[in-house]
Amino acid sequence: APAIDMQLYAGIHSACYNYITTQSTDTHKPDANSGSDIYNQLDKYFSELARSILSGLDTPDNSAEETELLARLLPAFQRFSSGAQTVNRLLNYVNRHYVRRAIDEDKGWLGMHDVMADFVRSPSAPSPLSIEEEKAARMASIAKLLGSPRSTGINLTTVTDDSPSRETLAQKYRERKVAVLATWGYDPNASDSGSSSGTAFRSTTTLAEAEAAAEAASESGRVILIGSLAHRRFRFDCVEPLLAIPKGVKKKGKKKKKNGGQGQGTEVAEDEKLAEGLAGVSLQAGGASSQAAGSSSSQAGGSSSQIGGSSTQQQDLPGPKGRLARAVKHLLEVDERPETERIRIAGELADMLRKVGVKIDHPLRKKLESFVVG
């Protein structure tokens, strides 16, 4: 991505500052609401861009798809991703003003309510209150507990409150966060927490990288840093359609997911099974309100009946049906380029999937990472 000159940077920073501060005095609304329009418009912008990248992947000749798809997708993602980092810096005022406040209000990728959902169900924490009362009482103190999770990792240790349950909650939050970040490759005990080496595949992931991936894996209702917002949109609007199993006769680029699942039989079940592997929903099933627009498969949450229900159907498939899965199969099994080259491409793709928030237990990520490592 091209560098932004200082004047433009300063101009946009002040424009955002002026807009947000003016808006909040004009409307007498809480500060946290200002900035949401910029944020939502950015989300739309990234969405349109990701869609146009997806449609740009189509070839006039279907037969070239397996060899050409990755050759076009990976550079497009690199460009998108590096641009996203630049925009993240350019609009850092929005990150600081709007995103951070939203996180403080428990609208971030890992909310205290996610942790509490576990906590109130735990038999080790019996309560005379009903679960709802308990939850309501604790929700009232959450804002204080949530300091600035991103800047320091977790700074809840500084809370000096006399309530023991707050301590317990803070501890639960820390444990949960470490556990989730571990699934994104962060090892808090690793001595080397610096940036990765130049190898195609990294063995260590920094805290910031893991958290960015965890953010990108969140549902669309969660407020995350602008760079991660772009990656999440890339997942929703470009990667997930490429991973999706088309229904019936394959139609390129236009696959609609039916979330209702009524009466669609195996096709819907297969799609939802795939969707389970995509988003980081299962670790965050806290019932955050998701926006209806464009959140695609992550909205399939709650379909727990699908977990065991459709496993046999996928085994009947003769080969991968998703566009990306076919391209990967070709890369790993058919492609005649030197192995080092194929490993490099597989590593780049694995990296892309992680960055946009496709979970490690997704079959394609597993396949790619074992190819790269093995």
Partner 1 sequence: SFQTLWAYILPALDKIMLP
**Closer CB to partner 1, 112 or 238, in the complex:** 238
Give min distance, CB of 42 to partner 1, in A: 8
Task: Quote the least distance from Cβ 207 to partner 1, whole Å.
Answer: 26
CA distances from 162 to 139, 166, 167, 215 (A): 17, 8, 9, 32
Q: Which is nearer to partner 1, 80 or 173 (CB)?
A: 80
Query: Measured from the CB atom, is 225 or 281 closer to partner 1?
Result: 225
Binding mask 279-318 for partner 1 (x = CB under 8 A): ----------------------------------------
Q: Between residue 13 and residue 32, which ones bind partner 1 under the rule CB under 8 A?
A: 15-16, 19
> Within a 13 Å sphere around the CA of 121, how many CA atoms are in the beta-carbon half?
7
Among 10, 11, 29, 130, binds partner 1 (CB under 8 A): 11
**Closest distance of CB 260 from partner 1, Å:** 34
From the list 42-50, 107-115, 147-155, 158-166, the region that binds partner 1 by CB under 8 A is 42-50
Q: Which is nearer to partner 1, 19 or 165 (CB)?
A: 19
Rounded to whole angstroms, how far apart are CA atoms 150 and 170? 15
User: Which segment (73-81, 125-133, 171-179, 356-364) binds partner 1 by CB under 8 A?
Assistant: 73-81
Minimum distance of partner 1 from residue 76's CB (angstroms): 8
Q: Is 261 left (phi over 0), alpha (psi -120 to 50) or beta?
A: left
Q: Binding residues for partner 1, how many (CB under 8 A)?
A: 24
Beta bridge partners of 186: 205
Scan residues 217-276 and list those touching partner 1 (CB under 8 A).
none
Q: What is the smallest separation between the CB atom of 279 and partner 1, expressed in angstroms? A: 23
Is residue 131 part of the contact set for partner 1 (CB under 8 A)?
Answer: no
Q: Could you say which of 32, 33, 45, 207 contacts partner 1 (CB under 8 A)?
A: 45
Binding part of the chain for partner 1, among 39-47, 201-209, 296-304, 357-365 by CB under 8 A, reads 39-47
Question: Torsions phi, psi of 205, nearest 5?
Answer: -125, 135
- The residue range among 77-85, 163-171, 246-254, 290-298 that interacts with partner 1, by the rule CB under 8 A, is 77-85
Residue 12 CB, nearest approach to partner 1 (Å): 6
- Given 69, 76, 99, 210, the residue binding partner 1 (CB under 8 A): 76
Residue list 78-107, contact with partner 1 (CB under 8 A) = 79-80, 83-84, 86-87, 90-91
Residue keyed to tokens 């990520």 = 365
Is 64 an interacting residue with respect to partner 1 (CB under 8 A)? no
- If one asks whether residue 12 binds partner 1 (CB under 8 A), the answer comes out as yes
Q: Whose Cβ is closer to partner 1: residue 38's or residue 99's?
A: 38
Q: Binding to partner 1 by residue 4, rule CB under 8 A?
A: yes
Q: Count of CB atoms within 10 A of residue 135's CB?
A: 17
Kindly list the residues in this chain that would bind partner 1 in the complex (CB under 8 A). 1-2, 4, 8, 11-12, 15-16, 19, 37-38, 41-42, 45, 49, 76, 79-80, 83-84, 86-87, 90-91
